[in-house]
Amino acid sequence: MNRHLLREPEPPGPRGPLSAAVVACLRGTGPLPAAPGAGAADPYGDDLQLALYLCYELHYRGFAGVRPELEWDPGLLAVRGALEERFLSALRADTPVHDSLDEALAALLTEPAQGTDVTRFLCDEGELWHLREYAAQRSLYHLKEADPHAWVLPRLRGRAKAAMAAVEFDEFGGGRAERVHARLFAGLMADLGLDPAYGRHLDAACAEMLAVVNLMSLFGLHRRLRGALVGHFADVEITSSPGSRRLAEAMRRTGAGPAAEFFYDEHVVADAVHEQVVRHDVIGGLLAEEPELADDVAFGVGATEFLEERLAGLLLGRWRAGRSSLRVPLGPVSTHAS
């Protein structure tokens, strides 16, 4: 693997006063914003979502030139807490409520309505430029695939812990570095002529994509939200296999390349198995020991669907109008090796 893929990304450009203040803090060129300032921000907007993403990224790979000690800086954690409260309060107000967890999970098995699903659009009529944009957006998660979910492991017990660890083991390549899903996605990006360096496309990603990734970090970093994280993980695994099948077909139809096809073919098979493990052993094991978390699991499912639908609306609306979904252009096709 090229060494440039291992470097920390540069901090992105700001998108408003909150993110500008956080960027300045990370760079050591300015003070932190006042924590109460988050209360007036759009909870799903570019400024708050980028500011929150920056705070969370300190717990992953960090940024070039940013002191590692800032991960646990009390002032920055206070700002993160205010941003999280604004985001979480909005999610609790806006997420549709199901009558039961069983109903929430059953809804995931229903095929999406025609015209509302991104993977169906890409399969049926997507062009290479759509696939490149989709990969650039999703790279914010897939280049650290399964990392946010690993935080739940020490918060589970017994059957739930063992099953979750088994699924994560597959996500991390089953002990083989070349099969780690994040590395496979880097190969997909290279096939599409995208720079596969970690964090490379953060400036281009829309607020809706930031929110999808921030949700995982929010649930993963808080023990009190462990049930919601399990719900989110169940949503991802249950919906992944049919969506991946459509995306694999889109890659084949457009001649994207063998690594691009393989990434989604791998998920068709693996996630069909993971779905059953998550439903019966992760959720089943968790609720056998902590049945009071059923509503939290359902909230995790619902919040995931809510944010994914917002992202789908943005992508499909822009693409059907012949417009880019990205904040900045991708530029010409590049030839980075994975």
**DSSP string for 240-309:** HHHHHHHHHHHHHHHT--HHHHHHHHHHHHHHHHHHHHIIIIIIHHHHHH-GGGHHHHHHHHHHHHHHHH
pLDDT band with cut points at 50, 70 and 90 for residue 4: low
Q: Is the pLDDT of residue 3 over 60?
A: no
Q: Domain holding 221: CATH number?
A: 1.20.910.10
Write down the H helix ranges in the chain. 17-27, 46-57, 74-94, 101-107, 118-125, 128-142, 147-150, 158-171, 181-191, 207-221, 226-254, 258-277, 284-289, 294-320
Please, which pLDDT band fits residue 338 given cuts at 50, 70 and 90?
Answer: very low
The rounded distance, in Å, linking the Cα atoms of 251 and 234 is: 25
What was the pLDDT predicted at 283?
Answer: 96
Is there a single domain that holds both residue 90 and residue 173? no
Model confidence over 63-120: pLDDT tens digits?
A: 999 999 999 999 999 999 999 999 999 999 999 998 899 999 888 888 777 678 999 9
Query: Are 81 and 196 part of one and the same domain?
Result: no
On whether both 111 and 85 belong to a single domain, the answer is: no
Per-residue pLDDT tens digits for 131-175: 999 999 999 999 999 999 999 999 999 999 999 999 999 999 999
Task: Report the C-alpha gap between 152 and 17 in whole angstroms.
Answer: 32
Q: 107 and 252 share a domain? A: yes
Q: Is residue 334 part of a domain?
A: no
> Which positions ≥6 away from 39 have C-beta within 8 Å?
82, 86
239 within 8 A of 110, measured Cβ to Cβ: no
Can you give the pLDDT at residue 33? 65
- DSSP-assigned letter for residue 34: P
| Model pTM score | 0.94
**How confident is residue 30, by pLDDT bands cut at 50, 70 and 90?**
confident
**240-277 pLDDT, tens per residue?**
889 999 999 999 999 999 999 999 999 887 767 788 89
Higher pLDDT, 213 or 114: 213
What range defines the domain where residue 72 resides?
Answer: 3-94
